[in-house]
Every structure is written in structure tokens, then in C-alpha cells.
Amino acid sequence: MKLLGRKKGHEEGAEVSAKAEDSQGAQTRSPAGPATSRASRATGPKGRPTPKRSEARRSAKKGPVVPAPMTAAEARARRKSLSGPKLSRAERRAERTASRARMTERRERMMAGEEAYLLPRDQGPIRRYVRDVVDSRRNLLGLFMPSALALLFVMFAVPQLQLYMSPTMLVLMALMTVDGIVLGRKVSRLVDAKFPNNTESRWKLGLYAAGRASQMRRMRAPRPQVERGASVG
């Protein structure tokens, strides 16, 4: 009986030690232990990537920071020191005159149609050809602004005619819409014939032509290079 008791106690001790070893192995094998979960709770996301060393060096402050001015007099003195030498009245007048002359020259060259001074929407041989086609044609779209101003003047001067202003305006807008569609189709057909390798869409060319035709001839920029009725090859 004692032998059996010792054997039973020995078996119970072996089972307890096996369970302890299994629990320790499970803790070592599990990837998410207590330490790992505590570290994950302590460390949060930064929200932005770590900057490169070159960027950190460029953004690093070099030297002492100049303190902010305490009074208005100090602020004026600092602005004067940063603005450089003070110009006299004659020098400022000469600088404004030179700047105005440069702007006038640039505008004159742009109005003359020089390629280097044109806006990006007007650059290129295709856009120049479209402008020539529009300028050589009499367009109903060019009457939009004068007719609108005339109708407004008549409407306020003669209130009895207000009943007829809306139908007149609708008819005028319908005619201008038809004229714009005809002009866009004509421009697209001529551009395809003259520039077979053109990759610009017909819709953009049509809108460009209609927008130029809707302006009065003397207000178009750049200035028209052809006369009305001239043949554009």
C-alpha cells in the first residue's frame, strides 16, 4: 500500500511539473505576451513618416533666434535694416518709370502676336491659325455685348417695351449659339485639313474660336493680323 501511495504521489508530481513546463512554453511561444501588449499600448503611431537626414539638416535652425521687437520703434528700425538702402524720391520715380516701360513693352509685343510674349492659351501655330480664321470672318457673336447693352438701355429708358425684351434676347442668343456652332465646325474642319497631325480636341478649338469671336474686334488680344474677308490658307 505504501508503494502504491508513493507511486501515486510521484505521478501527481510529474503531472504538475509537465503542466508548468507547458504553460512556460506557451508563454515563450505566444507572440503577444504581457510585455509586448504593454509596449504596444505605450507606443502610439506618429502620424507622419520620419524625415530624411538631409531634410532634417535643412530644416534645422542654425544660430541663435533673433528676439521679437518689444516696441514699435524697434520694429520700424528692423524693417528699415531689412529693406536695404533707402531710395530717394527721384530714384523711386525712375524705378517706377522703368517698370512701367517694361510692362508697356511686354504688352505691346503680346498684342503684336510675338510667340514668346503670348499667354499659354494663345501659343502655337494652331491657335494662331484659329485666330486668323476668326478675324477674317464676320461673326454674330461679336454683337453680343453691344446688343446686350442696347437692350438694357432701351428696357430702362422705355419701360413699356420690357414685355418684348425677353423674347428679343432669347432670339438673339439662339442666333449667336447657331453662329458659334457653325464657327466651331468650320474651324475644326480647316485645322484638320491644314494640320493633319493635330492632337488637340475639336471641342477646345471650337470654344477658343467662339470665345475670340464673342469679343469686339478692337478688344481682341492679340490684335487681329488679317483683315475681314481675307482668305486664310
Mean pLDDT, all residues of the chain: 78
CA distance 69 to 76: 9
pLDDT interval class at 84 (50, 70, 90): low
Q: What's the confidence (pLDDT) of residue 38?
A: 47
Using DSSP, state whether 38 is helix, strand or coil: helix
Q: What's the confidence (pLDDT) of residue 170?
A: 87
CA distance 68 to 66: 7
Q: Which residues have CB under 8 Å from 140's CB, separation 6+?
A: 175, 176, 179
Q: What's the confidence (pLDDT) of residue 29?
A: 45
Can you give the residue ranges of every domain in the chain?
88-117, 122-214
Q: Which residue has the higher pLDDT, 161 or 132?
A: 132
CA distance 160 to 180: 32
Q: What's the confidence (pLDDT) of residue 153?
A: 86
Q: Which residue has the higher pLDDT, 131 or 80?
A: 131
CA distance 224 to 222: 7
Q: What's the confidence (pLDDT) of residue 11?
A: 47
Does pLDDT of 160 surpass 90? Answer: no
Q: What is the mean pLDDT of residues 138-145?
A: 84
Residue range 171-193, pLDDT digits in tens: 888 988 999 999 999 999 999 99
Does pLDDT of 159 surpass 70? Answer: yes
Does pLDDT of 39 surpass 70? Answer: no
CA distance 55 to 2: 80
Does pLDDT of 127 surpass 80? Answer: yes
Q: What is the mean pLDDT of residues 58-82?
A: 76
Q: What's the confidence (pLDDT) of residue 162?
A: 77
Q: What is the mean pLDDT of residues 208-222?
A: 91
